[in-house]
Amino acid sequence: MFKVIVEKECGCFRKSGIENNKSFESKDDALVEALNLTKKMNQDFCQKHEFTVKEDNNNILIAVDERVKSGCCGGGHCS
């Protein structure tokens, strides 16, 4: 049995209705789920956090870190 675990449930995660600690029969299925969730959360959530996938034995962990700000406003004049 393999689990996908979000290590820290931020406010956006709690509001999303996404299930935490979801179990899978295969590691591949758990990894695909974790990668899809990470992509969705990085795109759809408030952008305060960055989500990454880590493996830990039979658990696929989704780590939650503060998003690093580049200092560029995106206006195209910084480069």
Identify the pLDDT of residue 79. 53
d(C-alpha 44, C-alpha 39), whole Å = 9
Q: Is-above-0.85 flag for pTM?
A: no
Domain boundaries, the chain: 2-66
Q: Does residue 30 sit in helix, strand or coil?
A: helix
- The phi, psi pair for 48, rounded to 5°, reads -80, -25
Going by pLDDT thresholds of 50, 70 and 90, the confidence category of residue 75 is low
- C-beta neighbour count of 55 within 10 angstroms: 13
13-34 pLDDT tens trace: 999 999 999 999 999 999 999 9
d(C-alpha 21, C-alpha 37), whole Å = 12
Given a cut of 90, is residue 72 above it in pLDDT?
A: no
Higher pLDDT residue, 7 or 79?
7
